[in-house]
Amino acid sequence: MDRAIDDYLAQFEPIEQLNRRRLLDEMDAAWDALGLDNTRPLADQLDGVGRFYSHPVWVLNGVYSAKDPVSLAHRLAIADWVQIQAVERVADYGGGSGVLAGLLANRLPTVSVEIVEPFPSSYFVARVEALGRVRYVPTLQGPYDLVIAQDVLEHVDAPVELALDLAKNVRDGGLAIFANAFWPEIKCHLPANFYLRHQFGLIMRAAGMCALGHVPGVRHALIFRRQGPLDRSAAFRADARAKWIGGPLNGAGQGLARTRLVLNSLVP
């Protein structure tokens, strides 16, 4: 299997020079080839979804994320922040290639990292587990000192429900990092979730999570601390409100961004 993946990756060498748009186009091509539709619930397309997230393009994405300066910088910044926290047990939900898990293991000599990954690639499993103190698991097995979900929630049918499940697996006083990309950058980012772009933090605060800001240098990586029981009912009420105002708020934000670009272009 690794030989087939090596042959696939060879098409894109040198991967550190791969144009990001070409990578995203390759991912979209795999999505389309499987007949997937991001306007329909993934629950109605489970066979295709499983094959998509097991496609070699995700190995390409993982290798790319370890070499691309921007992607790697985000993971390094998260690892730097985690390094100064008092954590021993970490869950990297949807951690895929294990790049972040490896950085954490290298920085924290006593940390144990579980990569919670429903579609683990054999290409990465042996490489990552050879590091020691890092292993792949199929489901959350909390409580954890820290749960990280990087580029996950934009891919699922019920992002708020998943976020609450992740928070539930954080010990009282523990931490959660959610780095979300609720943008139409790629077809597997579900449009039904884009209303959360500016609303996600409000929903998590309604659930009882304490917002601590963002990881320095990674503005979309939001940090929360769990404080006592979660209020799921309040979170879902906040989610219902967000579905009404999230779209208009996104539009207003895009309009403001365009205005700023125009104004900046006028500055001599």
Question: What CATH number has the domain bearing residue 172?
Answer: 3.40.50.150
The Cα 57–Cα 213 span in angstroms is 33
Region 205-234 average pLDDT:
97
| pLDDT for the residue numbered 252 | 64
- The pLDDT tens digits for 38-68 are 999 999 999 999 999 999 999 999 999 999 9
Residue 167: Cβ within 10 Å count: 23
Within-domain flag for 13: no
Query: What range does the domain containing 242 cover?
Result: 73-250
User: What would the two tokens of residue 199 be?
Assistant: 């609303």
The full DSSP string for 55-77 is: STHHHHHHHHHHHSHHHHHHHHH
pTM of the model: 0.91
User: What would the two tokens of residue 18 be?
Assistant: 């791969």
- The pLDDT tens digits for 99-152 are 999 999 999 989 999 999 988 888 898 888 788 889 999 999 989 999 999 999
Under 8 Å between Cβ of 96 and 124 = yes
How high does pLDDT run on average in the chain?
91
- The pLDDT tens digits for 145-199 are 999 999 999 999 999 999 999 999 999 999 999 999 999 999 999 999 999 999 9
Nearest to 242 by CA among 186, 175, 182, 187: 182
Within-domain flag for 245: yes
Provide the CB-side half-sphere exposure for 207 (13 A, CA): 25
| pLDDT for the residue numbered 115 | 96
The Cα 9–Cα 216 span in angstroms is 33
The full DSSP string for 191-255 is: GGGGGGTTTHHHHHHHTTEEEEEEETTEEEEEEEEE-SS--HHHHHHHHHHHHHHHHHHHHHHHH
Within-domain flag for 177: yes
Within-domain flag for 101: yes
Under 8 Å between Cβ of 226 and 173 = yes
Q: What's at 37, amino acid-wise?
A: D
Nearest to 64 by CA among 1, 8, 9, 6: 9
| pLDDT for the residue numbered 266 | 44
In 68-111, the DSSP E strands lie at 89-93
Within-domain flag for 58: no
Indicate the helix (H) or strand (E) that contains 164. helix 159-168
Eight-state DSSP code of residue 117: -
Overall domain count for the chain: 1
Nearest to 147 by CA among 129, 168, 161: 168
- Residue-wise over 33-72: b if at least 16 C-beta within 10 A, else e? eeebebeeebeebeebbeebbebbbbbbbbbbbbebeebb
Within-domain flag for 185: yes
Within-domain flag for 124: yes
